[in-house]
């Protein structure tokens, strides 16, 4: 088996993860939305094949939940991330993206189309940390984001260059 483990045909967007919102979830306060909104937000991010932004989720949900606000979507996603139900992917210059895949993995981000793809690479999980980091910080998680140009954009660029 190669050291890079990825979905079929190389890198992949997050797979659809079929899991339901935990029964014991308790989110309260004026900005947390009602339970049907929370369930819809959770379902939307979990069923996403991409790493959606809060704006993307809000735009989709607004069609079926006209009373939902962007603030409720954004705050709820942040609460879900704090609870460990989803992950936050932050890339330079981009809006915060949300990842339903909470298993250990890393990301490739195309700087042309912005797509973020998951990949698994054990060597990144076991990086040796510099002594300065080990002595002064407690490492809780290692995430690697590689940026470059995806194969689809490379292909399109070749076509447009001719």
H or E segment to which residue 133 belongs:
helix 131-136
Mean pLDDT of 95-99: 92
Location of structure tokens 């890339």: 91
Which region among 4-8, 46-50, 77-81 has the lowest average model confidence (pLDDT)? 4-8
Rounded Cα gap, residues 162 and 158, in angstroms: 7
Please give the DSSP secondary-structure letter assigned to residue 65: -
Query: For residue range 11-23, what is the model confidence (pLDDT) as tens digits?
Result: 444 444 456 666 6
pLDDT at 109 (0 to 100): 92
Rounded Cα gap, residues 130 and 128, in angstroms: 7
Residue 53's CB is within 10 A of a number of other CB atoms, namely 19
pLDDT at 77 (0 to 100): 96
Q: Helix (H, G, I), strand (E, B), or coil: what is residue 132? A: helix
Its CATH architecture, for the domain 4-161, is Orthogonal Bundle (1.10)
């Amino acid at each position: 088996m190669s050291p890079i483990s990825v979905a079929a045909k190389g890198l992949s967007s997050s797979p659809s993860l079929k899991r339901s919102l935990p029964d014991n979830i308790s989110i309260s306060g004026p900005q947390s939305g009602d339970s049907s909104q929370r369930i819809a937000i959770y379902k939307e991010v979990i069923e996403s094949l991409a790493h959606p932004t809060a704006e993307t989720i809000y735009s989709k949900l607004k069609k079926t939940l006209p009373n939902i606000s962007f603030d409720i979507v954004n705050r709820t996603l942040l609460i879900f991330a704090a609870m460990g139900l989803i992950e936050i992917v932050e890339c330079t210059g981009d809006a915060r993206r949300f990842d339903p895949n909470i298993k250990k993995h890393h990301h490739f981000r195309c700087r042309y189309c912005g797509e973020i793809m998951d990949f698994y690479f054990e060597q990144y999980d076991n990086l040796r940390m510099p002594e300065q980091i080990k002595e002064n910080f407690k490492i809780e998680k290692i995430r690697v984001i590689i940026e470059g140009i995806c194969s689809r954009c490379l292909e399109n660029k070749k076509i447009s260059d001719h």
